[in-house]
Structures are given as structure tokens and as C-alpha cells.
Amino acid sequence: MREAALDVCRAFGLTTWFGNPGSTEIPLLADLPDDIRYVLCLHENAAVSAASGFALGSGRPAMVSLHTTAGLGIRAIADAGAVVLLCSTDNQELVDLCSRVAVFYRGAVTGELTGDHLAEHTLLEAINTGVVEDAA
């Protein structure tokens, strides 16, 4: 799963990553490949600011890892125009916070859920079967 997530990041040019990791992120961050640069920040707000500055200054996208607690306002950050990549195993959290969900199944992206098609029952079906029905 880790390598598939890193491959998606590479595909979108997200090779500079800002964050303030907690203990749950350690397996993801351990031994990052040489093409992924991690910038350690002292707080999640500093990570968002640093990533925004990097993106504006370099013209390249940046990734920020945040803890998905209710107080951080991740939905508000996304609604303000920032790109938020959320990795979670909490299905309702994904439905509530995301406008688009890439579905991973057995190490590969098998499809994408968006709009009205992004609901907890369609997400559960997709992650358990690898099948993403066409939203059209």
C-alpha cells in the first residue's frame, strides 16, 4: 500500500512533502525513497504554510501530511483551493472530507469515486471488491 501511495504522489508530481508526523506515520516515512523529500515542520499549521510557500515559489505542487482530527479544518483548507491528499482507513472520514477518492485494491489503483457516487456504501464495495462502478 505504501509503494502504491508513493507512486500516485509521483504521478502527480508530489515529491516534496511537508509535515509534523506522529507515531502512526513512522512506517510510511521510514526509509523514504531518494526521489521523495520530507520537510519536518514544528506544527501542522507551519507545514501548510511552508508547503504553500514552496508551491507558490517553485511553481510545483507540494504535499502536506496532517493528522485528520476535526479541529484542523481540513475541509475548509480544501474548500479554499488547496489540494489535500488524505490517506485514511476511516470510510466515513473519506466521504466527509474528500471530493475525490482513489480506490486501492491489492496494491493498485482500480478506480476513482467522485461526487454523488462517493458514499460510504460505494466506497465499501469498491475497497472490498476492487470494482468501481462508472458514476455516469
What are the two backbone dihedrals, phi and then psi, of residue 112, each rounded to the nearest 5 degrees?
-140, 140
Residue 34 has what pLDDT? 93
Q: Where are the alpha helices (DSSP H) in the chain?
A: 2-11, 26-29, 44-58, 74-79, 91-97, 120-129
Grid cell 525513497 is found at 33
C-alpha to C-alpha distances, 63 to 19, 66, 92, nearest whole angstrom = 8, 10, 22
Task: Say how many C-beta atoms besides its own lie within 10 A of residue 58's C-beta.
Answer: 10
Q: Are 64 and 46 in contact (CB under 8 A)?
A: no
Q: Are 101 and 118 in contact (CB under 8 A)?
A: yes
C-alpha to C-alpha distances, 29 to 6, 57, 113, nearest whole angstrom = 11, 25, 27
Per-residue pLDDT tens, the chain, 136 aa: give them.
788 888 888 888 888 999 888 777 778 888 899 999 999 998 888 888 898 889 889 988 888 887 655 555 667 767 766 666 677 778 888 888 888 888 888 878 888 998 888 999 999 898 889 888 765 4
Domains and CATH numbers, the chain: 1-87 (3.40.50.970), 90-136 (no CATH)
- Residue 133, C-alpha cell as written in the block: 462502478
Q: Chain-centre distance of CA 64, in angstroms?
A: 8
Residue 37 has what pLDDT? 93
Residue 24 has what pLDDT? 73
What order of strands is seen across the sheet that includes strand 63-65? Answer: 37-40, 16-19, 63-65
- Residue 113, C-alpha cell as written in the block: 469515486
